[in-house]
Structure 1
Amino acid sequence: MGSKGSERKASKGTVQIKVSNDRLQLVFSFGGKRHYLSTGFTDTKANRKLAEMKARQIELDILCDNFDPTLGKYKPQSLQIIPTPPITPVEEIVPSLVDLWDSYTEYKRSGLSPSTLAKDYKKIYRCINFHLPVKTLDKAVAIRDWLIANKTPSSAKKILTQFSACCNWAVKSQLIKDNPFKDMASDIKVSKGDKEETDINPFSVEERDRIIQAFKDSRYYNHYAPFIEFLFMTGCRPSEAVALQWKHITNDFSTIRFEQAVVISESGLTCKKGLKTQKKRIFPANNRLAALLKSIKPDAVSGEAKVFPSPEGTWIDAHNLSTRGWKGVIEKLDGIEYRKLYQTRHTFITMALKNGMDVKDVAKLVGNSPEIIYRHYAGQSRELFVPEF
């Protein structure tokens, strides 16, 4: 980083912080051009830290080929292309929630899964940038009131919890003096009816077999028939089935090793090691499942090859398949209520319990705890009756 008043020419990708017209300015070179970006900040200790955060973000984007040549990404709220409106020299800039969330995300990035970044953190980013009517920390109460008025209690509570965590980090980083969102989330009471419940609505054996056959008969989606049947036969998560490679299946098709998952990341679909609740698990194939795998395995296939590739040979986009192919096929089947693709997992677990499998064994096969199986499935897997007494 350049220091105050430094005139040393910055090397490519290096962002200097200078003072121009009593305002902190970011100076850097990219694409053969020299860029001068005014922060609008007066040169105080707190404002210099904010400028340093933005400088680090620009340097990281240049290094990772994510640089925004329009500079729009680097000017949320507090940054403006020079010239900037005159500000009283002693005025302290009110930190923007936009800037703090960007910096907090970069700080947390290395410890977060790609799917958490792409889904949870991106959702907060969109809420801040495109929905909140105000975005500065001095308007924290107004932000809370807007969330309560426009989100469910559960969603508002989650967002305020994230805002508070972000500001706690900013306080520890000496970027702000206090956390204006402290304890706001705890004030929101979520009723039992508002909490997200596990949506377990399994298919019957007849419905399962009709769905599998419908995919086999489909003109547009028959490519996915083995994938759908595999989900029903194993109860694995769709992300785990997508990530399967032939090296994960024994040569005699008797055993399947789940040890990775394909998830949505900021750059698209990516394969990550490990599963949602464990590093790996072994699944023994019954005769039907073994026959299915044997029927789809190409001759002389590489162990790195995908068991269930997309028609283009890439990872299957399970979300896209669910919202298009899965939904389209089921909606054409008379007498079958539409349910999400994840119900293939619930169907397997429910059928396994109904057919007398031990709860602990089922939990081990699908990568859940016995407590979860007892809580969500065991009560639904059998009909209750009162004996004669």
Structure 2
Amino acid sequence: MKVQSKAQPACDIAVYADKGSLALRFPKRHNPLWEQLDGKSLKGKPKCLGIGKYGFSADEPEDWKRATQIAIALEADLDHPEWEKLFDPTLAKYSLGGGKYAKLAEVLQLPGTVQVEPEITVGQMWEAYLEWKKTVVEETTFKDVFCTMFSNAIYGRKWDKKNNKYKELDTPISTLRIDDSTLGSQISLLSTCRKSYLISELSKAFDFCKSKGLLTSLTTNNPFVGDKYSSPAVTTQQKYASRIVDGVLIQWHEVQDEKELENDRRAFNKIERDIIIKAFCESSNKTYKALAPLIEFYFLTGCRTSEAFPLTWKDVDFERNLIRFSKSLGYSTRKVKETKTGEIRLFYFGENSRLKQLLLTLKSQGEAEGLIFSGFRGKHLTRDLVSRAWVGSSTTSTLADGTEKTYHYPGVVTQLIEQGLISGYLSPYHTRHTYITLTAHANAHDNNALLLIASACGNSVDVILRHYLGVAEGTTLVEV
């Protein structure tokens, strides 16, 4: 009977945990090399190399995998017949560079010592990714999210309101190389909204650069994966907390996030709607009063706020009594683009409806071919202008004695809340939810009407039934 030999381990360089970090234990056959590098005898004991300072934690499964890959690479080079050409005494080749062995190798002039080309930085990786990303995302999203929000976090740019310019942090992650052991701790310190989204895009940027051969080493691991950067569940206190945007402290309801606003389907009641429209019409502020037709239009059509800005009279057909919503205005680019859903919607109105009377009045006052709602010198209105008129604004001025004084200008809706005329604050975007809610409830028993509302507002009957109408109180099921 033939005795089978004992299977040999895949790698003789062992990976083990040492006080919460990882370390490598080398076989004794490698002792002569380490004794030369360390300049002292190992006295017959195996060489142990701690790698915790390079970011390897015993609590992270991914770090164990990375350490194992490094051990295999080290052994392959050290046991190769031409190991002097393959082994890098600086350890940079194995993502462990920058330590004492980088300097010792130069002093000892060991064979195989080569200058390993450094890995690319996070900034270089991000710039390469942006060149591609701008070709696949909508222009406004690219400018607002990728070039502003995310790039500011990566490059450590903070808006200095006092000096009206950006100031940069001393050590932004853009300057760190993607194999830097401190990168993980620096990412955890990032302060930006939608942080998990940023981490996800950084991970995609790494994969993109790797696929394009832009990385220095194919063995460099993606430092942006895993659950170590995952954000905790958002608490109610966090959800409604004030936030700092571009260096300015603002209330939660002033943050303009269209996705969140679309999902927040609270609405004004009919009486509150008419109180708000009347308040704009009777405002003593000429700018606020001039916006009254736009606010009423929002309440009577349920269109998204950005869809009203580029509307022209060519989009209105008085013979067929319809409005054609086919475009919107980019918030930051100020360019006309397609609607949020990319579809063209036809909004029908009644012959004697309040909406038709509003449009006819506006047409008699404006240009026949121009914008329905225009700003200074016939240009597009801005979302910021509507927001200031709605919720108010603040400005800070420096007085003659050098002190600063802040002036507050309340908006129309803010004043109505203070006067107790409406129940609470909702954003301009909620004019859309108000229209859908009021119209859906008024036509709850007419399926064709609900289908018409869904089509006109770029929604679905299912969404209207589930989120705007809900389950009617008093409804009972027929037993079967």
> TM-score with structure 1 length normalisation?
0.67
Is the Cα contact below 8 Å between 1:168 and 1:179 reproduced in 2?
Answer: no
Superposed displacement of residue 280, structure 1: 0.5
CA distance in 1, matches of 2:311, 2:296: 14
Report the secondary structure of 1:312's partner residue. Answer: helix
> 1:25-174, aligned counterparts within 5 Å?
90-121=115-146, 122-130=148-156, 133-135=172-174, 136=176, 137=178, 138=180, 139-147=182-190, 150=191, 155-174=194-213
Preserved CA contact (<8 Å) 2:155 2:173? no
Structure 1 residue matching 2:335: 3-state secondary structure: strand
Q: Supply the distance in 2 between the matched residues of 1:96 and 1:370 (Cα, whole angstroms).
A: 49
- 1:256 match: secondary structure: strand
1:378 paired to 2:463: no
Q: Residues 254 and 190 of structure 1: is their aligned pair in 2 closer, same or farther, counting only changes over 3 Å?
A: farther
Please, which of 277, 295, 307 is the counterpart of residue 240 of structure 1?
Answer: 307
- The answer to which of 99-108 and 338-347 deviates more is 99-108
Distance 2:377 2:221 in 1: 49
Secondary structure, in 3 states, of the residue corresponding to 1:257? strand
**Equivalent position amino acid for 2:474 in 1:** F
Superposed counterparts of 1:189-228, under 5 Å: 191=233, 198-220=263-285, 221-228=288-295
Contact 2:123 2:173 in 1 (8 A): no
Q: Distance in 2 between matches of 1:89 and 1:222?
A: 73
Greater shift, 113-122 or 343-352, is seen at 113-122
User: Which residue number corresponds to residue 222 of structure 2?
Assistant: 180
Tell me the percent identity: 29
Question: Relative to 1, partners in 2 of residues 1:300 and 1:202: Cα closer, same or farther, differing over 3 Å?
Answer: closer
- The aligned length equals 291
Deviation at 1:185, TM superposition (A): 5.5
Offset at residue 264 of structure 1 (A): 2.2
Amino acid at match of 2:426: R
Task: Output the CA distance in 2 between the equivalents of 1:247 and 1:292.
Answer: 16
- Alignment of 1:261 with 2:344, yes or no, is no
The CA RMSD over aligned residues, in Å, is: 2.9
Report the Cα distance in structure 1 between the residues aligned to 2:306 and 2:139, rounded to whole angstroms: 13
Aligned to 1:350: 437
Instruction: Mark the CA change 1:186 to 1:89 in structure 2 (over 3 Å): closer, same or farther.
Output: closer
The reply on whether 1:278 has 2:342 as its aligned counterpart is: yes
SS in 1 for 2:328: strand
Equivalent residue in structure 2 for 1:290, among 326, 350, 356: 356
Residue identity opposite 1:314 in structure 2: K
Q: 1:28-80: CA deviations, max 9, x gaps?
A: xxxxxxxxxxxxxxxxxxxxxxxxxxxxxxxxxxxxxxxxxxxxxxxxxxxxx
**1: CA distance between counterparts of 2:282 and 2:114?**
73
Q: Structure 1 residues 98 and 182 mapped into 2: Cα distance closer, same or farther (>3 Å)?
A: closer
SS of the residue corresponding to residue 372 of structure 2 reads coil
The 1:143/1:185 distance shift into structure 2, 3 A limit, reads farther
In the TM superposition, residue 175 of structure 1 has moved relative to its aligned partner by 0.9
Q: Which amino acid is the alignment partner of residue 180 of structure 1?
A: N
Q: Which has the larger radius of gyration?
A: 2
Evaluate the alpha carbon distance shift between residue 207 and residue 110 of structure 1 in structure 2; reply closer, same or farther with a 3 A threshold.
same
1 CA distance for matches of 2:360 and 2:379? 21
Closer, same or farther: CA 262–151 of 1 in aligned 2, 3 Å: closer
- The alpha carbon displacement at 1:332 in A equals 1.1
| Structure 1 pair 360–251 and aligned structure 2 pair: CA distance change class (3 A) | closer
Match 1:367 to one of 458, 461, 469: 458
Output the CA distance in 2 between the equivalents of 1:97 and 1:309: 43
Structure 1 residues 198-234: Cα deviation after superposition (integer angstroms, max 9, x where no partner): 2222011111101111111113211111100000000
Stretches of structure 2 lacking an aligned partner (at least 5 in a row): 1-112, 158-170, 240-259, 392-410
How many Å separate the matches in 2 of 1:246 and 1:111?
32
**SS at structure 2 position matched to 1:297:** helix
Larger deviation: 246-255 or 369-378?
A: 369-378
